[in-house]
Amino acid sequence: MDDVSAGYAVGDIVPAPYFHGVFPEGLEKTAFDDPFSAEGWIDHCRYAAKRLGIKGSSYLGRPESSRLDLNLGNMRDCLRRPRLAAKRLLGRASCPRYLLPIAAMIRDVHLRRGRVSLLDVGGGFGVSFFELLRVIDRGALANLSYDILDNEPNCLLGRCIFADYEVKPTFASDLHSLREHYDIVVLVGTLQYLPDWKKDVANFSDLAGIHFYIARTPIAAAGFSTVQFICPAYGTHAKRNLGSTRINVVGVADLRHIMSSRSWHTSFEFMDADYSSQFARLPQPQRDASYYTMGWRRAAQT
């Protein structure tokens, strides 16, 4: 609590880790900044997109790309970004592990229905979409509708970055512009930032017809709230505070109860990363949190 009361001004360099204080309840009444709409965050996103080479990889968004086209494109990517390529060669998959279940869900729905609709809640400028392009079946890609819900600055950036892609995400910053139904709904690194996560996870799961997926959300035995200072890892604002926001560490029993009460059955779950080091400033009982990857299937689906 002392760290929170002392505070950090926007623009300050904040020493990691960036999580401060424990708030069992009432934090929803506290006013917070909107760091994910700040120019510093969008600059960080532009830097990330350039680092990943998204604009130069539009061949990935062409369903008719041959295996030779893809291999040649991957070779060009390795030459442009040797450090990133080396990391992937040292045991990493062609896309992050936590995204591979989404690729499997896309293939499952495509085999069943011949087309796929997916909503990526909090998908930013489309980095998950881009990473998935390396592992999505070309036939499924040709029949994929991929919608991203995020704030307008991220949507504007995403529309620009993917302008030359044949298959590209549709960006929306308004809930009312979404479809009434999706085959798949995913929340990657998002659920913890939703003001009322219990209500929101129920509402978003109602939009999904076959698969629902949560990843990169800190989950613990008992839920609580804390404060995070948003400090980009790179870009012109690297390590500088863009503002504070509330995050909710999700109680696993509460999450399972909400999903089962809405006719969802767990299809898989696994720990993606230990998150306790990120909560080193918090009291010991609240440090035992992990990034969990969890997938559900509708009870009526076989």
Q: How high is the pLDDT of residue 8?
A: 84
Q: How high is the pLDDT of residue 1?
A: 38
Short-list 175, 179, 185, CA closest to 150 = 175
Q: Distances in Å between the alpha carbon of 196 and those of 27, 42, 248?
A: 11, 25, 9
227-247 pLDDT, tens digit per residue, is 999 999 888 899 999 999 989
Q: Following DSSP, what letter does each residue of 217-281 receive, concatenated? A: EEEESS-EEEEEE---SSSTTTTB---EEEEEEEEHHHHHHHHHHTTEEEEEEEEEEE-GGGGTT
Q: Which CATH number is associated with domain 2-298?
A: 3.40.50.150
For the whole model, what pTM was predicted?
0.91
Q: How high is the pLDDT of residue 2?
A: 42
Q: How high is the pLDDT of residue 56?
A: 84
Short-list 199, 170, 204, 169, CA closest to 184 = 204
**Which residues have a Cβ under 8 Å from the Cβ of 6 and sit 6 or more positions away?**
none
Q: What gap in Å lies between CA 157 and CA 178, rounded to an integer?
A: 19
- Counting as low any pLDDT under 50, the low residues of the chain are 1-5, 91, 302
249-279 pLDDT, tens digit per residue, is 999 999 999 999 999 999 999 999 999 999 9
The ranges assigned to domains in the chain are 2-298
Ordered alpha helix ranges (H), the chain = 2-6, 39-52, 67-80, 82-89, 100-113, 127-132, 138-142, 152-161, 197-207, 252-261
Q: How high is the pLDDT of residue 65?
A: 79
Contact yes or no for 220/289 (Cβ under 8 A): yes
